[in-house]
Structures are given as structure tokens and as C-alpha cells.
């Protein structure tokens, strides 16, 4: 009997569940799991969580504290189901505040520790803004691992590697979305997918220059994008696409292979160079801002829910 594609993918890539759905995590047995404000909101709205959510909300000191407490509470449950990393995001409201991002990250790690989850299991997520990257650089020095998300171009990837972050999450599908909107009649299938091309170029650059930062493709629109990146360090995949892979048989070819190219140290990007590169890239600038706004919109919904529970 032919092996399903999810099983084959797990032999060449670390599979990560992009969800806060505990049942989905149990079903697909990923190594890691990632969450974000949107996924935490979805999980928090589960009626079976209402009693626990109310308890968490009422014992928190304020709404910010309640938001972090809920994320850690769900993350702690996830940590009991996966052997690897659990990614928990710092508030999107702090995407341009380095110092407060660092403070909140330490508070999240302290909450996990109080729940018996060591900081070696947690990746603190922050947006790949200049300020977010600087916060991650400091957190890594403090022994706190980081996951830089909402990453759309090479300049962000280079700055993250320069900062020594543990992992980056380049957003494949959202890159494709932007290009489809600009060129609705273009062929973006297979290797023509600009999101796939972006991850491949970052992967080759990291491996060719000896960077230890993990490349984890994210935000997939279809299984074709996933198959095109088979062999990437990690891929974080929604339950729907995990299900498609698990139900599909046929050969899966490894597409990304570490390069044997000569390794050398690249000059680090300055802030001016980083900001100029972002300014020159309309797609990355637009999708980064849009991503922060969307995460914040869902966080506000969670804040409203928690405020209601606190007042009852």
C-alpha cells in the first residue's frame, strides 16, 4: 500500500500544526505547534473552554494580562500533546515597541514556567519588523527562543539571521495572494508560486552561509505549495491541509536540499538598509502592515470577550 504524503513529508521535514485545535493536534501528531492571535481567538470561542476562560479572565490583573494568560493556558495544553516547540505570540500591538515586547515575552515565559513548561519548549513570536527583530535578538541572548512571523521578503530573513533568531516563518500563501491580486491572469502554479520561490531563496541563502536559524514555511493556500517545499526545515500547516496530505498517496519528492556552497559571513543589514529594502518592496510592506492589523483585530475581539467575562 502506498504511503500517504503526510507520512512521507514527516520523513524529510519537521511537521508543525498551525492551530489551537487540540483535537486536530491529537489526530495528526505534529512535532511542534504554532498559534497566533487569530488561532487563540478561535480556540477561546470553543464553548467547552468557557468555564476555564472565565476563571482565567477573572484572576488576571488587567486585559493585557488576561490575553497572555489565555494564550499560555492554551499553549500549556498544546505542550502536553507535542514533543517539540509551542509558539506563542506577543501582542501585535507591540510590533513597533522593542522594550515592551521584551517585557511581555519574559512575562509569558514566567507564566509557562508556573505551569510547568520550560522556556526551552517555547518560541516567542513577534512580527518581523525592525523593532520585533531587535527584541528577538535581546531575547535570544536572554536564553528565550524566538519565532519571527509575518515575514515576506529577503531583507527580513537576512536581518533575522543576523540577529540569531531561532526560527523564521515566511508566509507563502499571503505572498501568493498579493501577486494574484496584481496579476490575476498569471500562472502561479508549481514552482512559479512567488511564495514558494521566496522560501527557497531564503533556505538556500541560510544553508549556503551557515546560518543556524530554522526556516519554517507558513500560510499555505494549497498542498501543492507544501509539496514544492518538501525538505524545508519545518512547515507549519493548517488542519485542513494536513488532512488532505494524510488522505493523498503517491510519491513525494524532496525539493529542498542543503547546499554545499562555500560558507562565508555576510555583512549585517543596517537599520537604514533594512528600512530601504522594505520601502522598495511594496508586497512585503503591504502584507506586513495588513498582517499586523488582522492579528490585532482578532486580539481586540478576544479582549472584548475577556472583558465581558471579567465583568460577570
How confident is the model over 61-114, as pLDDT tens digits? 999 999 999 999 999 999 999 999 999 999 999 999 999 999 999 999 999 999
State the Cα–Cα distance between residues 276 and 42, nearest whole angstrom: 36
CATH number reported for the structural domain that contains residue 38 in this entry: 3.20.20.70
Query: What's the whole-model pTM score?
Result: 0.95
Average pLDDT over residues 271-286: 98
Find out whether 149 and 127 touch, Cβ atoms under 8 Å: yes
Range of the domain at 110: 5-311
Band the pLDDT of 6: cuts 50, 70, 90.
very high
Q: Supply the DSSP string of 80-147, one letter for each residue.
A: TT-SS-EEEEPPGGGTT-HHHHHHHHHHHHHHHHHTT--GGGEEEEEESSHHHHHHHHHHHHTT--EE
Catalytic residue among 125, 200, 207, 287: 125
Rounded average pLDDT over 192-208: 96
According to the model, what pLDDT value does residue 263 have? 65
Provide the pLDDT confidence category of residue 265 given band limits of 50, 70 and 90. Answer: low
Q: Are 187 and 202 in contact (CB under 8 A)?
A: no
Q: 28 pLDDT exceeds 90?
A: yes
Looking at the structure of the chain, the number of domains it has is: 1
Kindly write down the DSSP assignment for every residue of 271-298, as one continuous string. HHHHHHHHHH-HHHHHHHHHHHHHHHHH
Mean pLDDT of 132-139: 98
At 190, the pLDDT band (50, 70, 90 cuts) reads: confident
Reply yes or no on whether 138 is catalytic: no
Amino acid at each position: 500500500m502506498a504511503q500517504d504524503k503526510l507520512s512521507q513529508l514527516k520523513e524529510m521535514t519537521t511537521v508543525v500544526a498551525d492551530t489551537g485545535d487540540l483535537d486536530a493536534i491529537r489526530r495528526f501528531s505534529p512535532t511542534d505547534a504554532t498559534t497566533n492571535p487569530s488561532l487563540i481567538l478561535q480556540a477561546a470561542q470553543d464553548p467547552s473552554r468557557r468555564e476555564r476562560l472565565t476563571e482565567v479572565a477573572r484572576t488576571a490583573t488587567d486585559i493585557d494580562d488576561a490575553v497572555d494568560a489565555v494564550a499560555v493556558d492554551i499553549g500549556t495544553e498544546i505542550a502536553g500533546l507535542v514533543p517539540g516547540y509551542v509558539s506563542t505570540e506577543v501582542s501585535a500591538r507591540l510590533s513597533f515597541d522593542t522594550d515592551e515586547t521584551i517585557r511581555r515575552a519574559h512575562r509569558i515565559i514566567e507564566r509557562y514556567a508556573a505551569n510547568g513548561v520550560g522556556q526551552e519548549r517555547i518560541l516567542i513570536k513577534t512580527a518581523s519588523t525592525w523593532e520585533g527583530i531587535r527584541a528577538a535578538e535581546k531575547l535570544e541572548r536572554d536564553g528565550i527562543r524566538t519565532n519571527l512571523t509575518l515575514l515576506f521578503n529577503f531583507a527580513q530573513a537576512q536581518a533575522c539571521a543576523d540577529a540569531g533568531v531561532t526560527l523564521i516563518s515566511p508566509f507563502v500563501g499571503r505572498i501568493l495572494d498579493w501577486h494574484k491580486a496584481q496579476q490575476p491572469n498569471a500562472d502561479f502554479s508549481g514552482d512559479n508560486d512567488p511564495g514558494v520561490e521566496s522560501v527557497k531563496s531564503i533556505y538556500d541563502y541560510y544553508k549556503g552561509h551557515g546560518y543556524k536559524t530554522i526556516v519554517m514555511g507558513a500560510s499555505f493556500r494549497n498542498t501543492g505549495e507544501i509539496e514544492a517545499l518538501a525538505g524545508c526545515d519545518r512547515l507549519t500547516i493548517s488542519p485542513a491541509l494536513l488532512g488532505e496530505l494524510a488522505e493523498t498517496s503517491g510519491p513525494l519528492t524532496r525539493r529542498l536540499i542543503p547546499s554545499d556552497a562555500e560558507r562565508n559571513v555576510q555583512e549585517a543589514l543596517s537599520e537604514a538598509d533594512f528600512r530601504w529594502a522594505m520601502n522598495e518592496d511594496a508586497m512585503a510592506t503591504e502584507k506586513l502592515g495588513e498582517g499586523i492589523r488582522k492579528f490585532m483585530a482578532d486580539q481586540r475581539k478576544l479582549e472584548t470577550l475577556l472583558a465581558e467575562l471579567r465583568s460577570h
